[in-house]
Amino acid sequence: RHEGLQNIIIHYSSRRRQEALNGARLIARAFGLSATEALRIGDKTVEDFRWEDSAQNQLYGLQVKTERNQKIWTIRLNFGTYLK
């Protein structure tokens, strides 16, 4: 039986697009996304990333959604971890 955190959603907002992207990239890196992949955040409105940790027998997924509502940029990071 697997117990522990399986999914977390973070909404990160800022008035400045670049500031919101930088914050989202920092959070994504903390989740384990590579630096190269993290730089892609913001290229598209919705992006999906997948990677694995063979030693821990884990799969990871991160969906990033970027949107602007009036003067506020919001980036939603939906992170999940799964057993292989």
- Entry pTM: 0.86
Determine the length of the chain. Answer: 84
Give mean pLDDT in consecutive 10-residue pieces for the chain, a chain of 84 residues.
78 96 96 95 95 87 95 96 82
pLDDT at 1: 53
Measured CA to CA in angstroms, residue 54 lies from 24, 59, 71 at distances of 25, 8, 42
pLDDT at 57: 83
